[in-house]
Amino acid sequence: MTLALTAPERSHHLEREHGRRVGWTEWGSPDGVPVLFCTGAATSSSLGFGAEAVRELGVRLLCVDRAGLGLSQPDPLKDFSRWTADVAAVLEATGLSRPAVVGFSQGAPFAVALAGAGQVSALALVAGQDELAHPATRALLPTQVAGMVAAIESDREGFEAGFAARADADGMWALVDGMSGPEDRALYREPAFASAYRQALREGFAQGASGYARDLTLAMGRWPVPPEAITVPVRLWYGGRDTSPVHSPDGGALLATRFPRAVRHFLPDEGGSLLWTRARDILRDLLAAAA
């Protein structure tokens, strides 16, 4: 299967405190139904998904770069509250109110933070990272991932500094490729997709690795709002052939019991790339939930 990827149709930025720039990209009609997209690990907002479905369903897809990645300048104080404040500023600037949100892979905790802050109308987590530090989830983790969670809890600043000193775009690409199963790897290595993904990683690391290092430690800790407190509809999408050890260890089964209004879609023949292979289904389902 060839994945059709389309470059952003528009890009924008605004200035936050002390002139710090926050940037975002868009696909689809400016008058479309707004959907926010929280990207996966270390990628910039140039890597979108489902451009054909976006047009077909009348969606306006917006992707805000987290501080220190892509179009957004670093924020040494970055945490989940600073992230939700950046998104609130973008929503105010664009005149949008409570869009739906998609969180892919490591973008899941950042999407959950937006739901917890009351900024979105519905939430879809696609091949999403789980709340890895939650006791019941931690018990399911591979030893190496559980060790990372413990190391971050023990010394977050030291972990970040050590990680930032050795991380780069090429290493991140190799990590994603190595953690992927055969189905995902075949799709990710397709030349057009690989080129777009690797470009988004280069943009994610263009300002250094510290922005992503902070994302990593935030995402692998406790979530700012527990799933039990999220009141909007939640859609969970997982593939049975997803081999990433940092996504949900049980394909979202436990998460589905924790979110009060969750519907879990488990597709046994899909991998972690279902964001792209099932984009139309994901967006259509999310819009119905938001309505």
Pairing of strands 59-64, 21-27: antiparallel
For 106-115, the pLDDT digits (tens) are: 999 999 999 9
Tell me which residue has tokens 């739901």: 115
pLDDT < 70 regions, the chain:
1-4
Where do the domains of the chain lie?
Answer: 10-290
- Residue 126, pLDDT score: 98
- Residue 3, pLDDT score: 65
Contact 4, 51 (CB under 8 A): yes
Burial of 174 (0-12, 13-18, 19+ CB in 10 A): exposed
Neighbours of 237 (CB within 10 A): 26
CATH of domain 10-290: 3.40.50.1820
Largest CA distance in the chain: 48
For the entire predicted model, the pTM comes to 0.97
Q: What CA–CA distance (Å, rounded) separates 26 from 171? A: 28
- Residue 18, pLDDT score: 84
DSSP, residue by residue, 248-269? -TTTTHHHHHHSTTEEEEEETT
Element holding 110 (H helix, E strand): helix 108-116
